[in-house]
Amino acid sequence: MPEAVQSQEAAEAAPPTIVLSHFKCDYSRIADIISEAELQLPYWQQQKDAGNIWDTGLYVHAWADEWNVGRFMVAPSMESAVAANAAAGQAFAADHPDSNALGEACPSHRDNFYLGGPSANAEGAAEGGTPTLVLSFYQCETPRIGEVLAEYEEFSVPVYEQLIQAGKLRGAGSFGHSWADEWNVGFFFVAESIQTFVDAWEESLTMFPEDATNVIGEACPAHKDAFYALGPRTGG
């Protein structure tokens, strides 16, 4: 996800659309859900190759709330994300009519659409393994979302880029409300593990300049974090 958000921000005038789909699943079926996601990868790859999406992947509960399975998608627009989801789903269902682990195991589901915001340059970051995806959500005063993201770009992005270059993070970025719920601003981090993220986060708090502002503290009274393990994804 970080590579797709960052590269497309550089290449396109319009910010990318980030779709976060969350599911409440029977945790005993997680292995089945991951296996099904691996089967679906070629169908998502077709959509990526056609330019309809730039990246998508599954993530599963590591230390989070009741929404224990998720899928992210980075796409040129909301319309292309919706169309790619329908096309990939229909093609997969035609070839695998008996495969419906996600539908059987996950009775509750929600989707949120965001616009990609400033992100740290993740070029050269480590790859492979099963990295940790951290999602931090905030409820912010809507008129101040632009200020929150501008503050992130000015003060946070340079800090996280230093940590990425030092191999302590794999990626970091932001997103703001497009068509979503009350959690209207979010930040993502990708790290080797929960512990390496925690270590990097604690180090980052010592790296901000003395004149750093606190718009997010003033404009965003509610906040929550969730930790996931990244699963099958197209990459990019």
DSSP 38-67: HHHHHHHHHHHHTTS-SEEEEEEEEE--S-
Higher pLDDT: 122 or 137? It is 137
Summarize pLDDT for 150-209 with one digit per residue, the tens.
Answer: 999 999 999 999 999 999 999 999 999 999 999 999 999 999 999 999 999 999 999 999
- pLDDT given for residue 232 in this prediction: 95
pLDDT category at 4 given cuts 50, 70, 90 is low
Q: What is the pTM of this model?
A: 0.92
SS3 205: coil
pLDDT category at 225 given cuts 50, 70, 90 is very high
Q: Residue 67 pLDDT > 60, yes or no?
A: yes
Q: What is the average pLDDT value for the chain, to the nearest integer? A: 94
Q: Are 224 and 137 in contact (CB under 8 A)?
A: yes
Q: Which of 170, 129, 154, 155 is nearest to 6 (CA)?
A: 170
Q: Are 138 and 185 in contact (CB under 8 A)?
A: yes
With helix as H, strand as E and coil as C, how does 133-191 read?
A: EEEEEEECCHHHHHHHHHHHHHHHHHHHHHHHHCCCCCEEEEEEEEECCCCCEEEEEEE
Q: Are 160 and 120 in contact (CB under 8 A)?
A: yes
Which residues have a Cβ under 8 Å from the Cβ of 152 and sit 6 or more positions away?
117, 118, 174, 187, 216
- Give 196: exposed, middle or buried? Use CB within 10 Å, 0-12, 13-18, 19+: middle
